[in-house]
Amino acid sequence: MNAAVSPHIFDVDQDNFETDVLQGSLQTPVLVDFWAEWCGPCKSLGPLLEKLAAEYNGAFRLGKVDVDKNQELAGVFGIRSIPTVILVKDGQILDGFAGALPEGQLRQFLSRHVQPLEGDFEEEVLEEETLPESPEQAINRLQQEIAASTNRPELKLDLAIALAQAGQASAAEAELNALPANLATDTRAVRLRSQLDLARSLEGTPSMEVLQQRIHANPQDWEAHDLLGVRLLLGNDPAAGLEHWLLMLEKARDWNEGQAKKRLLAAFNTLDDAELVGRYRRRMASLLF
């Protein structure tokens, strides 16, 4: 990976971390990418981060940490899997994520904290690119990319995740089982296996739009609430999914033998956002006790 593709991208090591990352973040937010040459998902995430750093035109800087060369620095931040990305602003860690997110989710992550500065790209193109990518669109895109490239196995993991988000659990499991050994233990792959049980419940069920229409027509359509919760959890809005099950826990606790409680407990095991899980565990407990 070449950190010289943009003036807004730089390599980070122990010598310049204090000045370029911590002190530098007092003026401009710094996105720090922990990666390694041997890491398959890093090879798909890195170019996307570099593209966005150039596109944002200085609204943030991208610092790249090769964990093999900077093991002590990675240890300071408790990096357990790569890629891991953290956002540093005003000298403090503001946010972060682990795993190779698709471009749509990366844009959503950045939009919570920074806005692009005016550059040479067309505003209309940027607005089009910031639209969230649906699971179905991701499946089509990834299938095309896989057909065009035989040396990027990390795309198969992205495809497995997109298939699960679209409710195609069997297809997702088939892609997951076909991953090479180094990707089978990737954090996202391990998490996906625990999500597949939830995804299987979506096979043959209505789309998100149909479920939303059913709830609008009948706010007590608990089956629609339940299935929409799964779709949102496995999609891009897990908090909204959890809200459906909390509503069910409050209004229809005994529906389908306590389905809402079962869904919440299963969801907590699939999420890697400790703050989100803790918040919703407390809300669940307040309803139960």
| Positions marked catalytic | 39, 42
Distance CA 224, CA 269 (A): 22
Asked if 20 and 42 touch (Cβ cutoff 8 Å), the reply is: no
Distance CA 39, CA 43 (A): 7
Q: Is 167 exposed, middle or buried (0-12, 13-18, 19+ CB in 10 A)?
A: buried
Cis peptide preceding 180, ω within 30 of 0: no
User: DSSP letters along 189-228, please?
Assistant: HHHHHHHHHHHHTTTTPPPHHHHHHHHHH-TT-HHHHHHH
Looking at residue 243, its amino acid is E
